[in-house]
Amino acid sequence: MNVSIIGTGYVGLVTGVGLAQKGHKVFCVDKDIKKVKSINSGVPPIFERGLEPLLDKLVKENQLTATTDTVEAVKSTDVTFICVGTPSLSDGGIDKSFLVSASKDVSQGLTDKESYHVVCVKSTVVPGTTEDVVLPILEGVGLELGKDFGLGMNPEFLREGVALDDFMMPDRIVIGGSDEKTKEILTKVYENFDSTIMVAEIKTAEMIKYASNSLLATKISFSNEISRMCEKIGIDVYEVMDGVGLDHRINRDFLNAGVGFGGSCFPKDLKALIHFSQTIGVNPRILEAVIKVNEYQPIHAVNILEDMIGRLPGKKIAILGLAFKGETDDVRESRAIPMVKELLRRGAKVVGYDPKAGNNFLREIVNIEIAESVEKALSGSDGCIVQTDWEEFRTLTEEDFLAMRTPIVVDGRRVLNPDEFSRVRYRTIGR
């Protein structure tokens, strides 16, 4: 099929590359000319493992092209996926402005088309949004649902850092459609994928994404709550969760305690679902508790460090990892942000290091020193918090930390082996 992708962020570009790799002719659309030129030169504007060589290959094969012209892209394709951002508003709701703008552009591309076209929302939107926001815009230019176009919802389940793998080898593919023809076309888009395809109504597909992310975030906050009990009674929460995860009804995944979750999905989606729940008269007590626990975890790491060091004013603290997780340069909702703010509030000096996210982090907090390497970050430091689970940090040994003025380490992601430390004071979350 010929497919157009509106938006070239993590979701849009990975979706475009993945579909092109599966044989579809893909047109990626973005209003940012710099992004378009970068993509057409085979260089992704985002960092994602394995993305650059595959993008370069597909561009050279003319299987994927980027453009700023939404109308022409829509006219040239059979299916359009809307993959624009839906960031949080101050009240926790989602900002639909990008979705509205993209839908208006798409509608203009459909006005002269004679063939049936499927418009599918891949952006994360609360239940009812696709039909309440996108549909009226398309119908507003004289198009008839079921005759001129079909409307779909195809939520993404991508983890940054391994997004390409997740797209190519998904656990499941969820498709919501306005009618059987639309559902059949969207199913055909994914016919070369070895995965279970679930076909549902549009609102159901929208809710599946929010329910999935909320449950995963709940598992993390639950583990962090249990971890603080384990610290008090002298046992290891990881060993506890190993035992809990052996129950096939629960599973071990996402039961790791640490400094909390961040990124562009979990915090935003939880807040959006809380806001949506309140608008329909449901009190989301569990989801609100999940957020509260997550907000406390970075502060808990600072408390552990201060307990080991003593007063923090004037102390130099190294933060290893500024991205919200390893294998990405994304700092959105990174737990390093509240962690660094709390350290600065308590009078500490902070030096941070991240293999990819240093410059991005400076856009969040300017009064922090960014080191060029782990060695430079640790040199002369009075304490260290490991905040991100980069593979680079897993190879660190006791010798690396002995370059510190006082070798004190709080491992917020359980990436180090405590059995190797005899001259370094080491603590981790939940142990």
How many domains does the structure of the chain reveal? 2
Which positions ≥6 away from 306 have C-beta within 8 Å?
Answer: 312, 346
Tell me, yes or no, whether 147 and 236 share the same domain: no
Tell me, yes or no, whether 188 and 253 share the same domain: no
Is 265 designated active site? yes
Residue 362 within any structural domain of the chain: yes
Tell me, yes or no, whether 98 and 228 share the same domain: no
Q: What is the pLDDT of residue 95?
A: 97
Residue 142 within any structural domain of the chain: yes
Residue 208 within any structural domain of the chain: no
- CATH number for the domain including 349? 3.40.50.720
Residue 302 within any structural domain of the chain: yes
Domain boundary among 200, 227, 254: 200
Residue 205 within any structural domain of the chain: no
Q: What is the CA radius of gyration of the chain?
A: 23
Residue 20 within any structural domain of the chain: yes
Task: Note if the pTM is more than 0.85.
Answer: yes
Predicted confidence (pLDDT) at residue 414 exceeds the cutoff of 90: yes
Which positions ≥6 away from 191 have C-beta within 8 Å?
Answer: none
Tell me, yes or no, whether 47 and 120 share the same domain: yes
Residue 419 within any structural domain of the chain: yes
pLDDT in tens, 322-354: 999 998 999 999 999 999 999 999 999 999 999
Residue 77 within any structural domain of the chain: yes
Break the chain down into helix, strand, coil percent, rounded to 5. 45, 15, 40
Tell me, yes or no, whether 183 and 220 share the same domain: no
Query: Contact 328/357 with Cβ under 8 angstroms?
Result: yes
pLDDT in tens, 183-225: 999 999 999 999 999 999 999 999 999 999 999 999 999 999 9
Query: Contact 385/301 with Cβ under 8 angstroms?
Result: yes
Rounded alpha-carbon distances, angstroms, from residue 20 to 23, 70, 379: 5, 18, 46
Tell me, yes or no, whether 153 and 262 share the same domain: no
Domain boundary among 141, 167, 200: 200
Rounded alpha-carbon distances, angstroms, from residue 404 to 346, 353, 385, 401, 411: 20, 15, 12, 6, 15
Query: Contact 41/17 with Cβ under 8 angstroms?
Result: no
Tell me, yes or no, whether 240 and 371 share the same domain: yes
Range(s) of the domain holding residue 395: 216-428
Tell me, yes or no, whether 15 and 63 share the same domain: yes
Predicted confidence (pLDDT) at residue 47 exceeds the cutoff of 90: no
Predicted confidence (pLDDT) at residue 114 exceeds the cutoff of 90: no
Q: Which of 28, 120, 230, 265 is catalytic?
A: 265
Q: What is the pLDDT of residue 112?
A: 82
Query: Contact 85/98 with Cβ under 8 angstroms?
Result: yes
Rounded alpha-carbon distances, angstroms, from residue 172 to 168, 185, 317, 373: 11, 17, 43, 39
Tell me, yes or no, whether 171 and 320 share the same domain: no
Tell me, yes or no, whether 275 and 411 share the same domain: yes
H-type alpha helices, 234-259: 237-245
What secondary structure letter does DSSP report for 235? -
pLDDT in tens, 137-194: 999 999 999 999 999 999 999 998 899 999 999 999 999 999 999 999 999 999 999 9
Domain boundary among 200, 232, 267: 200
- Which tokens hold the place of 319? 């933060």
H-type alpha helices, 260-408: 266-279, 285-309, 336-345, 358-362, 374-378, 391-394, 398-401
Tell me, yes or no, whether 91 and 66 share the same domain: yes
Tell me, yes or no, whether 313 and 404 share the same domain: yes
Long-range contacts of range 294-297, CB-CB < 8 Å, 24 or more positions apart? 294/217, 294/220, 294/221, 294/224, 294/260, 294/261, 294/267, 295/260, 295/338, 296/260, 297/224, 297/258, 297/259, 297/260, 297/335, 297/429
Nearest to 62 by CA among 47, 42, 80, 45: 42
The position carrying tokens 């370094």 is 424
